Amino acid sequence: MFKKIVALCMALVLVFAMTACAKTEAPAPSAPPADEPATDAPATDEPAADEPAADDPAQVAIPVPEEGASLHFLHIYPEHEGAINKTLDIIKRDNPGLEINVSVVPWNEATKSIQTASASGEMYDIFFMWSTQVPGYNNVGLLLDLTPYVDDEWKSWYISDAALEEYSVGDQILGMPLRGTAVFMIYNKTMFDENGWAVPTSQEELEALCDKILEKGIIPISAPGKPNGFQVESIRGRVFDNLVYINGLIEDPERLTDRKTEWNGLYAQSGEIVKGWYQKGYFGANAFGLEREEGQTLFMTESAAMLLCNNNELTALRELNAAANNFEFGSFSFPKPAASDRTMFTQAGFGDGWGAWSGTKYPQACAAFFRSFACKETMEIWANEELCIVPSAEVEYSDPVQGAFAAQYADGGYKVVPNYNSGNKGDLTGQAFVDYCLSDTMTADEFETTVEQITARAIADAEE
């Protein structure tokens, strides 16, 4: 009898514990209807002061509610802390009553932090996201629709329509671009001058140059390929883009939305070209074992003549070079094939950006935050103090290399922007390419088929 009573007590404790852990009844944030912004503000019969009025010209200023607003802001830029602080000061100056609590995580923890915060209901009001995450986040109702707040004046600040389109699904603007991310080539100008090497103007010239550099026992291009092929896959992407352009598919709607699953040999061709380069040693034997920093080291120690890097690495490279003061460097965009009449720069886009939570108490304050963030004064800080390529049409770059590079972003319209949650499709494609590069048995056609299957499955997954 006694044992039964004790067992019953223990069972009650277990049930109590289970109940304590069970889901609460608090409503989960959900996607707002397309025609109205999300808000968790108390519902009243009167329109709330914080409600936007799409047809009200006064919304241009986007006032912060009189009682003030407190936003929780998540970013991933400890290395740009100065710029973040200056930006927040400007935002607070322009929006009296706005309080901003800042959280910072490493870039590779951002998604997990957002996922955890969202699942727990303690979500950040404004958070970092990549443009590729927009469809996925939108699918799960995470993103505040900013369309009613973004007027024509605001839109005119951007370098091209494509900058906002990257953060849109259909007609809805669901996020804001911060800075551009694209690859370009930096070269050791001192080494080039000493050896009489000229900057290549075509893909064929680049190949000839790499052969010459190899003869000197130097790795021609430091292209870190870890993880998932990284910059080597990026080179394949550039070669592929040029092939796509030459074959007249650059404006194919299926391509632009990343839904094309029939490539008729273009993937195979691009893979074959870059695999050939890898096998010749253009990227060194260890390309697929190099991470970004290791790739930079290879270039900075003059073991490699060129470095394929992200434009956002420019600051770190300039600092490294200034400290070592060992050589001068220049830059050029990855060259087009001789058969093409223009250089395609379709990977250039504003991949780093911001989203606002659909369940925020202060949707209008979030919009005010974004508007101040996008203004010329703020963008100039990011462009000229942090050497970022910003989406602003009004900014003038003090660094000529960067300025020339930024000019190419005006062509961003050809960038592939998936209109579905493509998940880890990019990683899988990169892995397939590395498998192909390192395989003695896998053919280029098999590589293409694998990529087509990856795309088809990603689309099916997203629509499941």
Partner 1 sequence: MQRKPMKLETQRKILGYFFLIPIVVLLVVFMFYPIAKSIVMSFTNWSGMSDDWKWIGFNNYIRIFTDMPEYWRAMKVNVIYAIIATAVQLTLGFIMAVMVINMKPRWQNFYKVALYLPVIIPAAAISVMWRYIYTPEYGLINQFLRAIGLDSLCRAWTADPDTALGAVIVTNTWRYAGFTMVLYYVAMLDIPKDVLESAQIDGANRWQLIRYFYLPLTRGTTEVNLILTITGCLRAFDIFYLLTAGGPGTSTKVVSMWIMETAFQSYKYGRALAMSIVLFLIVVLTMLLFRFILAPREKE
d(CA 414, CA 204): 24
Site for partner 1 in 436-455 (CB under 8 A): 436-439
Q: The tokens of 157 are what?
A: 């600040």
In the shown chain, the binding pattern of residues 376 to 405 toward partner 1, with x for contact by CB under 8 A and - for none, equals ------------------------------
Nearest distance from residue 208's CB to partner 1, in Å?
25
The 3-state DSSP class for residue 122 equals coil
Per-residue x/- track, 116-135, partner 1 (CB under 8 A): --xx----------------
CB 380 within 8 A of CB 403: no
| Nearest to partner 1 of 173, 290 (CB atom) | 290
Contact 187, 210 (CB under 8 A): no
Residue among 63, 65, 97, 141 that touches partner 1 (CB under 8 A): 141
Residue type at position 336: K
Cis peptide before 37 (omega within 30 of 0): no
Whether the Cβ atoms of residue 308 and residue 185 lie closer than 8 Å to each other: yes
Helix (H) or strand (E) segment spanning residue 367: helix 363-373
Q: Which residues contact 339 (CB under 8 A, 6 or more apart)?
A: 246
Q: Which of 8, 9, 53, 339 binds partner 1 (CB under 8 A)?
A: 9
Q: Residue 72's beta-bridge partner residues? A: 101
Strands lying side by side in the sheet with 176-181: 98-104, 69-75, 126-130, 349-356, 176-181
**What binding mask, one character per residue, do residues 254-293 give for partner 1 by CB under 8 A, x or -?**
-------------------------------xxxxxx---
Among the residue ranges 175-183, 260-268, 307-315, 433-441, the one whose residues contact partner 1 (CB under 8 A): 433-441
Compute how many residues bind partner 1; rule: CB under 8 A. Answer: 56
Choose the stretch contacting partner 1; rule: CB under 8 A; options: 27-35, 76-84, 94-102, 333-341: 27-35
Q: How far lies 3's CA from each of 7, 8, 15, 374, in Å?
A: 6, 8, 18, 69
Q: What angle do CA 439, 442, 448 make, to 5 degrees?
A: 120
Site string for partner 1, 212-251 (x = CB under 8 A): -------------xxxxx----------------------
Binds partner 1 (CB under 8 A): choice among 40, 102, 111, 199 = 111
Instruction: Output 280 or 342, the one with its CB closest to partner 1.
Output: 280
Rg of the chain over Cα atoms, rounded to whole angstroms, equals: 25
Q: Is 456 an interacting residue with respect to partner 1 (CB under 8 A)?
A: no
Name the minimum Å distance from CB 449 to partner 1: 13
User: H-helix or E-strand containing 317?
Assistant: helix 314-324
User: Rounded to whole angstroms, how far apart are CA atoms 385 and 374?
Assistant: 16
Residues 159-188 that bind partner 1 (CB under 8 A): none
**Judged by CB under 8 A, does residue 139 bind partner 1?**
yes
In the complex, the residues that contact partner 1 under the rule CB under 8 A are: 2, 6, 9-10, 13-14, 17-18, 20-21, 23, 28-30, 111-112, 115, 118-119, 136-137, 139-142, 225-229, 285-290, 294, 298, 303, 421, 423-424, 427-428, 431-439, 457, 461, 464
